[in-house]
Amino acid sequence: MKKNVGKTDRTIRLILAVAVFPMLFVLDGPARFMGLAFLPLLGTALTRRCGAYALIGTSTCERES
């Protein structure tokens, strides 16, 4: 799979992952597992590949000239 996550998109995903991760420790009950949303955010930011983007055929990567 080609890289399809651009620089701005990657930065936003990293910020969201860092913001959501503490939910695992702060919230109580089943709501705390919403903090696991950091996993796909972090994974797509680090690998620069998003399966959902591949399915719909889009990319936020900068175009090469």
pTM listed for this prediction: 0.85
Q: Are 44 and 61 in contact (CB under 8 A)?
A: no
Query: What value does the mean pLDDT take over residues 30-52?
Result: 94
In this prediction, residue 1 carries a pLDDT of: 83
Q: How sure is the predictor about 17, in pLDDT bands with cuts at 50, 70 and 90?
A: very high
How much is the mean pLDDT over the chain? 93
Q: Where are the domains of the chain?
A: 7-56
The DSSP result for 1-44, as a single string, is ------HHHHHHHHHHHHHHTTHHHHS-GGGGGGGGGHHHHHHH
pLDDT band at 63 (very low <50, low <70, confident <90, very high): confident
Q: Say yes or no to pLDDT of 55 above 90.
A: yes
